[in-house]
Amino acid sequence: MLIGQDNHEGQKNTMTDPMTILGIESSCDDTAAAVVRSSDGHAQVLSSVVIGQEELHAAYGGVVPEIAARAHAEQLDIAVERALKVAQIDLVDVDAIAVTAGPGLIGGVVSGVMCAKGLSAGSGKPLIGVNHLAGHALTPRMTDAVEYPYLMLLVSGGHCQFLAVLSETDFRRIGGTIDDAPGEAFDKTAKLLGLGYPGGPLVEQAAVNGDETRFKLPRPLLDRPDCNMSFSGLKTALRRARDLLIAKQGGISKQDQNDLCASFQLAVADTLAEKTRRAIIAFSEIADGKTLAVAGGVAANQLIGQKLRDTAHNQSFEFIAPPLKYCTDNAAMIAWAGLEQFAKGARDDMTLAARPRWPLDNTAQPMLGSGKKGAKA
Ligand code: KG4
Ligand code: ZN
């Protein structure tokens, strides 16, 4: 059970006390606000509003930071107002305001932090800056009441890492991508094949009618014993396979497209599954949990989900995949992470800074590269 701490009014907060937190998220291409309440340590999402920007970025095949920042600035107030309305509460009813303070695209993060500071100053409610990755990593506690410690695989458009989640502030990175995130690779594959954006769901759809054995694409870094991954070479291999077809046939057919998608998807799934097998072994050396949880948009992929589930079960681990709406970017996860940290006494003030990079595990070696969709912290 969590230990009580003094809050700003000198009262005690514990995870068993009812608590209501407003969460705000704007670190990539979703403007989100949510209200989450906990009582007896159980979460209830009273509202979760996500205003996506997909149509604004679709023509570019990826997120354009300047366009994203402007859209966040325009939509944040609307998202907050809607979240409070759906939750049927006023700002005076919340105990604190939690906001993503990084890592992510800086323009969006600044917009969110400024909005939260304004609300905090106006209402006198405490402010908590939340790490976006902590939001993802703690989601299984909100949705499935998973106990610490557990292993988390975060796979999204901007991130890919294994985390040992030991407490609401103690995360150990066991491995991660050294270049692209898998979602980014799915998006680039879709772009190379002219499928559209965001690429993940479109590649998965095309793969249904494809032959996954036709193209022998690499399983990067499987020759290395650690839990690090690389997906940029896979994308290059896919481009080469496409270009060879074009050189030979003058173009690619629908079947070629489907086969390329299926072969690519299998390569990502195999790589993630094998690295997950190793991450479970590494996790078991530092903690005694028996749960593997996933978060991030790529977790929506059926084949990847199935392979991760099998991998977990083969090692007697439970597999938790929170509902997709809480796996992808949302503000409920930020409210929940804020809630857990608030209960332990976390408070920020008007000096809270927006951070483009903010590794969860300060002791881990920094990873290489910086993704198009934000920092690979
Ligand atoms: O977590 P998310 O919504 O946003 C962040 O990147 O933070 O993840 C979006 C990513 C995109 O790159 C998208 O192509 C990928 O998740 N994605 C998928 C699928 N659905 C979304 N990748 C593979 N298969 C899917 N079904
Ligand atoms: Zn995210």
Q: Where are the domains of the chain?
A: 19-142+326-372, 149-325
Ligand 1 atom 22: the closest Cα is on which residue? 200
Of the candidate ranges 136-140, 289-293, 356-360, 373-377, the one whose mean pLDDT is the lowest: 373-377
What is this structure's pTM? 0.91
What is the CB neighbour count within 10 angstroms for residue 242? 19
Q: Which of 339, 366, 333 is nearest to 50 (CA)?
A: 333
Number of the ligand closest to the Cα of 132: 2
One-letter amino acid at 303 equals L
Q: What is the pLDDT averaged over residues 282-287?
A: 97
CA pair distance 270, 303, nearest whole angstrom: 10
Is the omega angle on the peptide bond into residue 149 within 30 degrees of 0, that is, cis? Answer: yes
Ligand 1 atom 6: the closest Cα is on which residue? 157
Pairing of strands 96-102, 19-25: parallel
Instruction: Tell me what the pLDDT averaged over the chain comes to.
Output: 91
Length of the chain: 377
Q: Which of 235, 296, 246 is nearest to 271 (CA)?
A: 235
Statement: residue 196 has pLDDT above 50: yes
Ligand 1 atom 10: the closest Cα is on which residue? 157
Statement: residue 377 has pLDDT above 80: no
What is the CB neighbour count within 10 angstroms for residue 346? 21
| Model confidence pLDDT, tens digit, residues 90-110 | 999 999 999 999 999 899 999
Residue 286 CB contacts under 8 Å (≥ 6 apart), including other chains: 164, 172
> CB under 6 Å to ligand 1: residues?
28, 156-158, 183-184, 186-187, 198-201, 204, 296-298, 300-301, 328-329, 373
Which residue among 298, 303, 306 is best mutated to probe the pocket of ligand 1, counting the most ligand atoms within 8 A of its Cβ? Answer: 298
Strand intervals (E) in the chain: 5-6, 12-13, 19-25, 30-39, 42-52, 96-102, 127-131, 150-155, 160-165, 171-176, 291-295, 318-320
Of the candidate ranges 15-19, 87-91, 177-181, 209-213, the one whose mean pLDDT is the lowest: 15-19
Residues linked to residue 36 through DSSP beta bridges, in sequence order: 21, 45
19-142+326-372 shares its CATH topology with 149-325: yes
CA of 376 to the centre of ligand 2 (A): 11
| Placement of tokens 């050189």 in the chain | 247
| Model confidence pLDDT, tens digit, residues 143-188 | 999 999 999 999 998 889 999 999 999 999 999 999 999 999 999 9
- For residue 241, give Cα distances in angstroms to 206, 249, 251: 17, 12, 12
Ligand 1 atom nearest residue 327's Cα? 1
Q: How confident is the model at residue 367 (pLDDT cuts 50, 70, 90)?
A: low
Ligand 1 atom nearest residue 184's Cα? 12
Q: How confident is the model at residue 68 (pLDDT cuts 50, 70, 90)?
A: confident
- Between the CA atoms of 246, 208, 56 and 237, what dihedral angle is there, to the nearest 10 degrees? -40
Ligand 1 atom nearest residue 27's Cα? 7
Ligand 2 ion: Cβ-proximal residues, 5 Å cutoff: 156, 329
Residue 331 CB contacts under 8 Å (≥ 6 apart), including other chains: 23, 24, 25, 32, 33, 34, 48, 49, 50, 79, 83
Q: Which of 27, 24, 53, 25 is nearest to 107 (CA)?
A: 27
Q: Angle 252-213-235 (CA atoms, 0-180°, nearest 5)?
A: 60
Q: Which fold has domain 149-325?
A: Nucleotidyltransferase; domain 5 (3.30.420)
Q: What is the pLDDT averaged over residues 58-62?
A: 74
CA of 297 to the centre of ligand 1 (A): 3
Q: Angle 110-171-234 (CA atoms, 0-180°, nearest 5)?
A: 80
Ligand 1 atom 8: the closest Cα is on which residue? 297
Instruction: Give the N- to C-terminal CA distance of the chain in Å, as an integer.
Output: 30
Q: What is the pLDDT averaged over residues 66-95?
A: 93
Instruction: State in words which class domain 19-142+326-372 has.
Output: alpha beta
Ligand 1 atom 3: the closest Cα is on which residue? 328
